Amino acid sequence: MKDKNYILLILLHVFIGYLIYANPSFSKLYGFAIVVLGVFFVFRSRNRNNEVLFVAGYLVGSEVFLRMTGGNILYEFSKYGVMIFMLWGMFYSGFSKNSIPFWFYLLLMFPGVIVATETLNLKSNIQNSIAFNISGPACLGVASIYCYNRKILISQLNNILLTIGLPIVSTTMYLILYTPDLKKILVSTGSNMETSGGFGPNQVATIMGMGVFIFFSRLILESKNKWVFIINLILVFNISYRGLLTFSRGGMITAMVMILILVFFLYKNTATQGRYRMNVLLVIFSIVFIFCWMYTSTQTGGLIDKRYANKDASGRVKESQFTGREEIWDSEIEVFKDNPVFGIGVGKSLEVREEETGGLIITSHNEISRTLAEHGAMGIIALMIVFFTPMFLYLDNKQHIYLFCFIFFWLLTINHAAMRIAASAFVYSLSLLKVYMDEKPVVHRE
């Protein structure tokens, strides 16, 4: 991509964030435009260059922003949209006959759906309850079948990541305008909806963490001149700052883990001269991130330091390191022990907790324990397929420098945000692509 076009795309998405803040009704128009232009893009190209991955990536990157601003047609539309475009892509381009593990994965989810039709309370909306809980795994399965061993150039993969990142630029701009005076709203170290665009901090932090990783990767690999480098550095700083202000730790910790993994593989695959140049960029990034943390600490009166140290506003260490989520984990593991083969059915664990707590609705944040409780042994096999398949493919896919980054994004995200957004499913599926280097990665500015 030409540098001029890249800069114009960034500015366009900054403007989109401003426009939707100034006039929220534009959010629905924006969501509608994504679908219409995506359909036109794929229909015109007949998916000759995996255009469905670009459209799906944009749907994933815009999901939280559209939820935040009321622009989604349906709450779960992005997951359904990803599945529809992946199936459309298969119609044009087929899929690998070796993708059998993920057909099997989808079959393993089916018994839990059958059990749910018998176990869910009659007062529940059975269709909605099942759809809400199965849409994430279904999205992962369909996207994985499309991506399995599909050949792609690293430059194309970088552009797919950019399509995820561009709507995150709009989200960041929206958060800058939306967030009120921090001194008036920050009174504790808990997750904060007012610094998260009035939406769930967990989901916002997750997508902002993904944004940090995407623009860090572009800072290292795609900053071919000083202006692009400066823009990427500014984006990394602002997205990091807004992610930290959500006071939701999972997304930002996941971003740092992904960055460390990427740096490791870049060092492993870069010549000595390239390593020296990369060292310079990493020092610059480290300085900027330290400054970002210090600035956030100053703006929050030190509350962000206490948050990541698991302390309350008074500096006392909290009893729970996971804001009580370990109790949900224990509850779901006990349910699994009582129903080890087929589980209790999709969506039923929420009802069990509601009964145990006297009416409180407490959704699970952990996809692993939820899968065990609701799918039983079938869920264990399904999770093993998802975890080990890309590692097996890596033996013949050493040029996929992002592979383990994507696996750990999925693994860490489902442990604090389940599969509430499409990002974990779609980003995971990208780990299954067969990646080729079309040129040596650029790790310096010209």
Contact 377, 388 (CB under 8 A): no
CB contact set of 323 (below 8 Å; sequence gap of 6+): 190, 191
Query: How far apart, in whole angstroms, are the C-alpha atoms of residue 244 and residue 394?
Result: 33
Predicted structure pTM score = 0.93
pLDDT at 131: 82
Phi-psi region of 121 (alpha: psi -120 to 50; beta: other; left: phi over 0): beta
Count H helices, E strands: the chain? Answer: 19, 2
Phi-psi region of 248 (alpha: psi -120 to 50; beta: other; left: phi over 0): beta
pLDDT at 442: 45
pLDDT at 361: 65
pLDDT at 237: 96
pLDDT at 440: 46
**Could you give the C-alpha distances from 201 to 51, 194, 289, 308, 419, in angstroms and in order?**
31, 9, 21, 15, 15
Q: What is the mean pLDDT of each run of 10 residues along the chain (446 residues)?
A: 88 97 96 96 95 98 96 90 97 95 96 87 69 91 97 95 98 96 86 90 96 96 90 96 94 96 88 79 91 95 91 77 70 89 88 72 82 94 96 93 97 91 97 83 40
pLDDT at 347: 85
